[in-house]
């Protein structure tokens, strides 16, 4: 009997693998948006020199993108190594305590409501055909041959963080005069909206346009027309999801305004 994963072939990504890449992208995008706009506004309060503001924002964008990518790579690599060590441990257990592993599989099906006799038959059949694949799935929820890919997570986070921070950076750099600040805030809102839209699309969520869903969400943000417009772009059946998107946008703007007021007070007191 073969207790090895050499013959297991990986045909396509599982849902967990796809969600791992999507999660890294969403986190990277939100982090890129917030950190870049925070640095831009902080520097813009201290100086009006456009080149200085641009270099500060660009430096933060690159630092954030590579920091997020390296963090994702390290964390997902740890998860992958843990999964592989579990598979190696189960391979040894199958060689040294096959009967114990067989009983564990039978007990699992008993807990699912299958009779003892049928559970034993199922366990014997599965363990005779694919023992390692069966035991790692039942005990640890691991699909043999399907491990989290740290490179997918790293590149997803790298690209998303850079793309997310690019909108406020361009707005703060290219828009002249007094329109800089509102344009940058609008760019933040657009970035968050695009992040939500793409995550819903790539995650096979339900994406509705504003005209289809505003009747369900509008009452939650009657006093904030801009928030209404942003939150109803991404909508997944329940108005509560609109609230989540709205709170994200509101939290971003709150952080921006608090930082701006704090720095302004410091500069005025100097």
For 116-171, the pLDDT digits (tens) are 889 889 888 988 888 888 888 888 888 887 888 889 889 999 999 999 899 999 99
CB atoms within 10 A of CB 131: 20
Residue 261 located in a structural domain: no
- Does the pLDDT of residue 202 top 60, yes or no? yes
The mean predicted confidence, pLDDT, of the chain is: 75
Residue 8 located in a structural domain: no
Residue 132 located in a structural domain: yes
- The pLDDT, as a whole number, for residue 205 is 55
Task: Please give the tally of structural domains in the chain.
Answer: 1
Residue 131 located in a structural domain: yes
Residue 218 located in a structural domain: no
Residue in this structure with the two tokens 């690599």, named with its chain if needed? 77
- The pLDDT, as a whole number, for residue 192 is 85
Residue 146 located in a structural domain: yes
Least confident window among 9-23, 75-89, 219-233: 219-233
Residue in this structure with the two tokens 């793409």, named with its chain if needed? 198
- The pLDDT, as a whole number, for residue 59 is 92
Cα separation, 134 vs 147, in Å, equals 16
Residue 153 located in a structural domain: yes
- The pLDDT, as a whole number, for residue 225 is 39
Cα separation, 230 vs 155, in Å, equals 27
> Domain span at residue 85?
15-205
pLDDT class of 69 with cuts at 50, 70, 90: very high
- The pLDDT, as a whole number, for residue 23 is 85
Tens digits of per-residue pLDDT, 247-266? 444 455 555 555 545 444 54
Least confident window among 31-35, 123-127, 224-228: 224-228
Cα separation, 129 vs 122, in Å, equals 11
Residue 30 located in a structural domain: yes
pLDDT class of 94 with cuts at 50, 70, 90: confident
Residue 247 and residue 216 in contact, taking contact as beta carbons nearer than 8 Å: no
124-128's contacts with Cβ under 8 Å and 24+ in sequence apart are 127/98, 127/101, 127/102, 128/1
């Amino acid at each position: 009997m073969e207790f090895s994963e050499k013959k297991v072939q990986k045909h396509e990504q599982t849902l967990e693998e796809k969600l791992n890449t999507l999660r890294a992208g969403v986190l990277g995008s939100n982090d890129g948006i917030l950190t870049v706009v925070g640095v831009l506004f902080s520097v813009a309060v201290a100086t009006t020199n456009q080149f200085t503001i641009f270099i500060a924002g660009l430096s933060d964008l690159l630092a954030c993108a590579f920091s997020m990518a390296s963090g994702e790579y390290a964390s997902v690599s740890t998860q992958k190594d843990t999964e592989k060590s579990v598979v190696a441990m189960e391979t040894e257990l199958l060689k040294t305590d096959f009967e114990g592993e067989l009983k564990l599989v039978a007990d699992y099906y008993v807990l699912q409501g299958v009779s003892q006799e049928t559970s034993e038959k199922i366990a014997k059949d599965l363990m005779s055909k694919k023992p390692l694949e069966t035991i790692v799935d039942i005990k640890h929820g691991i699909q043999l041959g399907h491990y989290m890919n740290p490179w997918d997570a790293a590149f997803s986070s790298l690209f998303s963080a850079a793309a997310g921070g690019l909108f406020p950076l361009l707005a703060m750099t290219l828009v002249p005069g007094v329109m800089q600040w509102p344009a940058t805030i609008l760019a933040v809102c657009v970035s968050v909206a695009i992040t939500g839209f793409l995550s819903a699309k790539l995650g096979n969520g339900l994406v509705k346009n504003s005209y289809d869903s505003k009747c369900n969400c509008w009452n939650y943000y009657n006093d904030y027309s801009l928030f209404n417009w942003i939150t109803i772009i991404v909508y997944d059946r329940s108005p509560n999801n609109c609230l989540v998107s709205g709170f994200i946008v509101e939290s971003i703007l709150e952080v921006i305004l608090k930082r701006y007021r704090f720095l302004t007070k410091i500069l005025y007191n100097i």
